[in-house]
Structure 1
């Protein structure tokens, strides 16, 4: 009866310890509200609410305003004057004058300005498209990372719970004298180590969830987005040659590089137009008061004058601005060729990475994960029957954990490789 009472207390103690550890492991997980969200809803939310993207959109407004500014003609100048002959004793009188002057731009300066502004506005739109394409890909990678971290947390939690059960069983078996105290302590130590791995994986998972909130412009801190889905649906069949052609036709950064050439050419035209000599037009009215001098009295009179002024542009002897614009054109041409070559390289690299990841995924379909799990279950069964050592069980557990990490890591890398390949090719059909 004493033995039964002793074992009953032991079992109750283990149950309370189990409950305490479960609460400890789950406390941080329930401290926030998880809002499930599917991929398409998430990516649409990124496009609508991402603050960095919203800030980039203002470049379009700024460029449109620049077109309006380029249309402005030079402002006229209005001048007024007053004069006094300064001979009050001789009564030579005083007068007023007024003049309107205006610069007449020659050489097509205004047209060149407008062309530059329009080309720069188009460049801003292409750069915005490129920004969104990269944002969409980066947001997708963040979404996939959150799923991967959740899976890693599940793997670590399952491993910990299995080892914890084994440690509880070993504690009972030690009390019964079936195993040594060293084995009981070793299994308990392994369970504690795995619990630390659970905490670490949980922190990584929550950090990735917080990053999703950043990308969606979410401001509330009492809840986190909880991504749905897995790593299925990322299998595609591609041709490298077709992908390169797609990239050359669709990549927004290549279009932007081509538009930069157009902008540089329009800047060169503007630099040439700015060297043209402008004309200054003026029109004025002068009014002289009545001169009451007794020797040469003069009646009041009003005169009208008009004139043209031609600046002497000695600065045209210095062609620095023109040469800078010419060099800018050559630079844009070189940048375009470099971008074109860079895109071909990126597509090739992304394609090879995707094919390699595809082969790795197919390798796991041969049953590596199932085999590792069967070995672990067999070792645990043998250990409980006294036919295997604890070291064999721990090695089998580590092998199974490594295989699980490799398997899910390979699936994750496969999905990431597809995202990077479609980013490089300028295509997009991701949906899972």
Structure 2
């Protein structure tokens, strides 16, 4: 088959463009991510704007108010009375007035026990907020890494689509020149058009995962950061401690261990309240009765009666309930059972913390090894194979199916690398959270 010089020149240019497609993909994989929205900035914004976190913080406000409520003493009671003496004199008699003031006296240290329990409830609420913040950070990190993975996958598929379009253009020139048949040209178009569906789905996934970043944030991502792109060049986690040291650190600062410890402290304080409530409270009452003076006179039957003098009577009384109800110790037993449950819960949380740290450590090490394998061997080998098949295809020594197979293999390798990188980011966050550290990527 003979070619004119213009046709040969055009074909050479198209094939050169096809050959440069793989180089561009390799360079894109090797170049660091451009500056943009950093994970640390996103995490700080989540902590500041999260509606769910603000809602959880109201539990602390409520618990702090409970301290003041626990310190309230019983209100005194004021009583007023009036009485009129009925006699057969036919004359009006003055009213007798009485005034009383009574107050319940708390015994057994009830007020101090309530205050201690309320203060431990504040610590429990604060620990609960920290636990919620830890879970919030975990969800935010997972959403951020997923958004990075989907965006990078979209970029890769768009580059692959461009490379397939270059193949179609080159094959169109070769078909017109008679170098290949119509079937091969159409097959390349079919592959390109089918891959367009993958690009469309990848674009939808990238848009969806970016929208998901707004959920932990409590508002639209664009309202806080505009249209800023994500910075997905995560830094490796530098860990210079062995696993046993990390376990000890986790047992001291992990939020779930702190919640379990605060639950135990609060349960013990509630036992003190239950025991203090078994003391009976006497009621002290002070009263004053005023009887006005009356003048002498004659009753309706003509009988004379003497005058009454004005008098004041002060009374003091103490009443004490008979504590038959204290024979039942059910309230104390319930409180002590809660302490036992809290102790078991603390032990369980400590065992879980140790298991979580060790599991996160192993997952982190495995993910780090997988990423390093992709970066050092898999990506480079897959790209070399693709470049070799492309070169062979340009010279007619490889079929279109071989080229497409090599392209799919290279794409699968790169997508596998992106997933491994996302897994490493997630394992990094899990390890940091498992030892009580603020996540950083």
| TM-score range for the pair, normalised by the shorter chain length | 0.7 to 0.9
Query: What's the Cα RMSD here?
Result: 2.7
Q: Distance in 2 between matches of 1:55 and 1:416?
A: 26
Q: Does the 8 A contact of 1:247 with 1:425 survive in 2?
A: yes
Q: Distance in 2 between matches of 1:220 and 1:245?
A: 38
For this pair of structures, how many residues does the alignment match?
404
1:115 is matched with 116
Shift of the 195–80 alpha-carbon distance from structure 1 to 2, 3 Å rule, reads same
2:150 is matched with 149
For residues 63-74 of structure 1, the aligned pairs below 5 Å read 63-74=63-74
Q: Distance in 2 between matches of 1:110 and 1:81?
A: 32
Q: Secondary structure at the match of 2:115?
A: helix
Give the deviation of 1:219 after TM superposition: 4.1
Is residue 50 of structure 2 the alignment partner of residue 47 of structure 1?
Answer: no
Give the deviation of 1:107 after TM superposition: 0.5
Q: Distance in 2 between matches of 1:326 and 1:99?
A: 41
2:423 to 391, 413, 428: 413
Is residue 234 of structure 2 the alignment partner of residue 231 of structure 1?
Answer: yes
2:336 to 326, 336, 345: 326
Give the deviation of 1:184 after TM superposition: 2.2
Give the deviation of 1:291 after TM superposition: 4.6
For residues 21-100 of structure 1, the aligned pairs below 5 Å read 36-85=36-85, 89=90, 91-100=92-101
Q: Distance in 1 between matches of 2:204 and 2:188?
A: 25
- Bigger mean CA deviation after superposition, 39-48 or 255-264: 39-48
Q: Distance in 1 between matches of 2:358 and 2:209?
A: 30
1:256 is matched with 259
2:412 is matched with 402
1:288 is matched with 291
- Per-residue CA distance 1:286-318 (angstroms, 9 max, x = gap): 223445674354234332211111012322122
- The two structures have a TM-score, normalised by structure 2, of 0.84
For residues 196-235 of structure 1, the aligned pairs below 5 Å read 196-219=197-220, 223-224=226-227, 226-234=229-237
Q: Does the 8 A contact of 1:64 with 1:121 survive in 2?
A: yes
Q: Distance in 1 between matches of 2:342 and 2:279?
A: 25
Give the deviation of 1:39 after TM superposition: 2.5
Q: Distance in 2 between matches of 1:230 and 1:200?
A: 24
- Per-residue CA distance 1:217-237 (angstroms, 9 max, x = gap): 334767555321313434545
Give the deviation of 1:249 after TM superposition: 1.8
1:309 to 298, 301, 319: 319
Q: Secondary structure at the match of 1:57?
A: helix
Give the deviation of 1:350 after TM superposition: 0.9
Q: Distance in 1 between matches of 2:72 and 2:361?
A: 50
Give the deviation of 1:403 after TM superposition: 0.5
2:366 is matched with 356
- Per-residue CA distance 1:304-336 (angstroms, 9 max, x = gap): 211111012322122221111010010100000
- The two structures have a TM-score, normalised by structure 1, of 0.86
Q: Secondary structure at the match of 1:227?
A: coil
Shift of the 79–226 alpha-carbon distance from structure 1 to 2, 3 Å rule, reads farther
- Bigger mean CA deviation after superposition, 169-178 or 57-66: 169-178
1:274 is matched with 277
Q: Distance in 2 between matches of 1:142 and 1:305?
A: 74
Q: Secondary structure at the match of 2:99?
A: strand
Q: Which runs of 5+ in 2 are unaligned?
A: 12-34, 299-304
Q: Secondary structure at the match of 2:279?
A: coil
